[in-house]
Structure 1
Amino acid sequence: MDILLIAGLWLDGSAWDDVVPALEARGHRPVPITLPSQGAATLDDQVAAVLAAVDAASGNPMVVGHSAACTLAWLAADARPERVAKVVCIGGFPAADGQPYADFFELKDGVMPFPGWGPFEGPDSADLDDEARRAFAAAAIPVPGGVTKGVVRLADERRFDVPVLLVCPEFTPAQAEEWMAAGDVPELAKAGRLDLVDLDSGHWPMITKPAVLAGLLADAAPES
């Protein structure tokens, strides 16, 4: 099965370099997506890149979003509910209609640079060693304000019929269920087929637990 891989903020397709071989070994075709992230790139540009990958896939792909990019995976299900076989959200939740995509940190010169490790101290980054932190920060790509402040637009209720797997790294499935029950995650709360799986890692399991993550994704892939 084609498995489209979308990394979160500040990352490009190379974030999945250690996941790809393990998925290929299980007979899947992983497709890491590098999103438009230069200059005046917008959220619409990133959505278009994801949809182009969906349209180019062989058969109906599984779309994997990490962190903020869970929203991009969900937008793909909204725009192509008949084409997306499954959505996997890793360490994040889809934004609701009308919300900004990722307006989390201050913009500088029109972009949102990686803010350093301060905001991520604790469970998010506990399993990243110093070398991994340095490499992440050095490679981090500032995210254009046209992306971070872009408004999410969801229109097709058939997205709720697309099966969803929520991978819970730095939080537990029980916590995720509490957040959904409290109304904090309205999109997933309405999903008709939602599974949750625990993953003992920080927020970036493609870096710290790539083989384990690949196994979860391979097991989650529907029969093609």
Structure 2
Amino acid sequence: MEILLIAGLWLDGTAWDDVVPALEALGHRPVPLTLPGQGDGSASATLDDQVAAVLAAVDSASEKTMVVGHSAACTLAWLAADLRPEKVARVALIGGFPNGDGQPYADFFPIQDGTMPFPGWGPFEGPDSADLDEEARRGFSSAAIPVPEAVARGTVRLTDERRFDVPVVLVCPEFTPAQAKEWVAAGELPELARVKHLDYVDIDSGHWPMVTRPVELAQLLAAATAEN
């Protein structure tokens, strides 16, 4: 199956460099996506530009595809299900949850000179980054791409309730499946609460398993493609 890989904030398609060969070895066709404004040199990109890039990748596939979103990009993966429910076979969400209609995409950190730069490791101390050594942290920080303001503060628009028919697998890294189930039951994740086929899988990692557990993550994603 073709598997579209969308990394979260400050990352481009190279974030999946260690996941891609592992997925290929398992017989899949991974397509890592570099988003407008996050690797193509365009600081003026908007959320609509990123959505359009995701849809172009979905539309170019010869068959239904699995769309994988990491962190904030879980919302991009969910937008693909909303806008192309007939072409998305499954959505995989890694370490994040889709925002609802009318919410900002990723207005999490201060904007500086029209972009949202990586804020440093302070906000991510604890389970998020516990499995990243100093070398990995330095590499991430030096390669981090500031996210355009019009992306971070863009408004999410969801229009097609057929998205809830698309199966979803939630990969739980710095939190557990039990915690995620509690959040869904408590009404904290309203989009996921309405998904008809929602599976939870655990991975023993921090927030960036594509860096620290790439082979295991590839195995989990491959397994998800075979689920009913």
The answer to whether 1:154 aligns with 2:167 is no
CA shift, 1:58, in A, is 2.1
Structure 2 CA distance for aligned equivalents of residues 39 and 85 of structure 1: 32
State the partner residue of 2:124. 120
Give the Cα–Cα distance (whole angstroms) in 2 for the partners of residues 35 and 22 of structure 1.
22
Unpaired stretches in structure 1, ≥5 consecutive residues: none
**Which amino acid in structure 2 is aligned with residue 174 of structure 1?**
A
1:37-87 CA-to-partner distances (Å, cap 9, x unmatched) read 122100000000000000001200000000000000000000000000000
In the alignment, the residues of structure 2 paired with residue 39 and residue 124 of structure 1 have an alpha-carbon distance, to the nearest angstrom, of: 27
- Conservation of the 8 A alpha-carbon contact between 1:86 and 1:222: no
* Cα displacement (A) at 1:203: 0.1
What TM-score, normalized by structure 1, do the two folds share?
Answer: 0.99
Aligned length: 224
Please tell me whether the aligned partners of residues 43 and 147 of structure 2 are also in contact (alpha carbons under 8 angstroms). Answer: no
What's the Cα RMSD here? 1.0
Task: Classify the secondary structure of the residue corresponding to 1:85.
Answer: strand
Looking at structure 1, the residues matched to 80 and 5 of structure 2 have their Cα atoms a distance apart, in angstroms, of 12
Unaligned runs of 5+ in 2: none
1:194 and 1:112 map into 2 onto residues whose CA distance is 32
Whole-Å separation in 2 of the counterparts to 1:130 and 1:56: 39
Q: Please report the TM-score for the alignment, with normalisation by the length of structure 2.
A: 0.97
Match of 1:96 in 2: 100
Secondary structure (helix, strand or coil) at the match of 2:103 reads: coil
- Asked whether the equivalents of residues 3 and 28 of structure 1 are also in contact (C-alpha less than 8 Å), the reply is yes
Instruction: Name the structure 2 match of 1:53.
Output: 57
Q: Percent identity?
A: 77
Q: Retained in 2: the 8 A contact 1:64–1:88?
A: yes
> Would you identify which runs of 4 or more consecutive aligned residues in structure 1 move more than 2 Å?
none
Residues 119-175 of structure 1: per-residue CA shift (max 9 Å, x gap):
000000000000000000000000000000000000000000000000000000111
8 Å CA contact retained: 1:71, 1:93: yes
